[in-house]
Chain A
């Protein structure tokens, strides 16, 4: 894939029109007020039939699983390569377009339908998928995915203390989670913890995923935490105190207790999708920052000339364009791989995420510089992108953790 196709451009134009009409006028309330992003996201899903598409795909998957024909579904369902490319593009283009105004909305959306629903769909039983998965995929309900704790971030599994104590057919859950996207508002939370096994070292205990509903006794969801950026994505803490659940809330049910790999398998797949989404987010941020910077470079006059005529400003614009081209090519590669039914290696996804996050931060900071004092003021928007972009280097694995993954892969040879 070397360029967007005609129908992909049509998708882009349609989504851009929606974003400019329905989101741009609310950016102030989303970013500097208390407006949660969910209703606008639901409106977008309805406007573009994304809820219907999710419902249809879900029905197909469940039907195939029930008839045990999963493999066949994968190989022939989504049709030809072009249809698969369109499908991949149709999921990435809204990310890019939303990020041109509100990267936080993508964070909230991505964690709900990307991480939470995916966890339920990949690990849950059919009953669990039907009970919780579909409503999250259609945005009827909002999901949160909770792995990080005050004492464990990069070392998510190793340092995790949240626990599940087995009592007959029930489990008693305890633990606290932090930095959880959608945590304050989630209807459905995937709570990741360790099975209490007295004879096993804490680091090596089996990882289990439980589904919690809002309002369950002992389950507390904090108010949104104040943070540097991504204000349109509510982030919170979760406190789980002696929450009693049955086997029906353990993703995968009884089987999850016997699986090899200690429940850590599958996490890599989740990280991988998350990482390719970050490239699309970075592209949206960079694209808009470049657009705004070009506009200002043409209009702003100092020393009798538009600042765009000064080479030091031109250098910034040219670097922004280089980043934009690179990111767009990475997004094209992601789409092309989907079209061919291939996936990126873990190391490649890490490399892409590392580059994308750094490029977005650099471009957004330079956009602030092009705008000078105005760049530092909220009215001119670029400061929002500078704050928002920074988190791309932190969540979904920090830069340092990506570097570790890339180097490990290289050195293994």
Chain B
């Protein structure tokens, strides 16, 4: 069985973020990056399938050279191979473009199961997983907190609004977007890290994947016009008094707003 994991490298949660000079994205030079937290759970879920049977785990990421580090970390955790889509044309691709690239990789790999994170820590869009599934004409489930695999299908638990759980069974091949906290993510073992540099990383361009004419920033349907830091407003109200007084005022406000 081939399991593919899509992972995105995002700015480190402690990184200082500044808007870049043309105001359309953040300044990426000299900041630390890490694997999107949701994706770490997706990697773990895939590695559990590998631990339990004979799955081959392939990790895939789109991005510049720095992305190698994220892929090597996943290889250190136990993934078998990596595919790195490194192409300037892919930079700044919108969700659909990115989904097309990932779908092309999945097709080439012949993935039986695709794991992704539910969303990315940086843009919180949650758009790509269902798009990839649609492009591949596969069933998909999002917000997954538990999986149970069998020969032809995967049974998953999904988190719904209000804490309810839904149990769905998907025939393979399928795509599963994992929720954070679904499992306890392992650390890359020291031996794993030392062996990771010997594992294969295939570098691909959009042309290699046959999507140069349909994906990438030149084909974006959505473009970012501007990003900015919200202006500091003066609408905040500071409650004053003893702790008890503050709590009473706060509860009053919450009731006033009809939130309770």
Contact = CB atoms under 8 A, between A and B. Distances in A.
B81 interface: no
B76 interface: yes
17 contacts: A6-B197, A7-B76, A10-B193, A11-B193, A14-B187, A14-B188, A14-B193, A18-B187, A47-B189, A48-B187, A48-B189, A50-B190, A52-B191, A53-B190, A83-B194, A87-B194, A90-B190
Interface-central residue, B76, B191, B196, by most chain A CB under 10 Å: B191
B214 interface: no
A246 interface: no
Say what secondary structure dominates the interface of chain B. helix
A40 to B, nearest CB: 14
B189 A10 contact: no
Contact of B197 (A7, A47, A53): A7
A287 interface: no
B187 A17 contact: yes
B73 interface: yes
Interface residues of A, number: 18
A306 interface: no
Contacts of A17: 187
A97 to B, nearest CB: 12
A247 to B, nearest CB: 38
Interface string A69-96: 0000000000000010011001000000
Given A11-B193, A14-B187, A17-B187, 4 more contacts: A6-B197, A7-B194, A11-B190, A49-B190
Contacts of A52: 189, 191
Given A6-B69, A7-B72, A47 B187 contact: yes
Interface residues of B, number: 15
A335 to B, nearest CB: 13
Contacts of B76: 7, 10, 14
B186 interface: yes
B192 interface: yes
B49 to A, nearest CB: 19
A90 B189 CA distance: 10
Contacts of B186: 47
A49 B194 CA distance: 12
A392 B94 CA distance: 56
A90 B195 CA distance: 12
A53 B192 CA distance: 11
Contacts of B189: 47-49, 52
A11 B188 CA distance: 8
A10 B191 contact: no
Given A6-B69, A10-B76, A53 B191 contact: yes
Interface in B173-192: 186-192
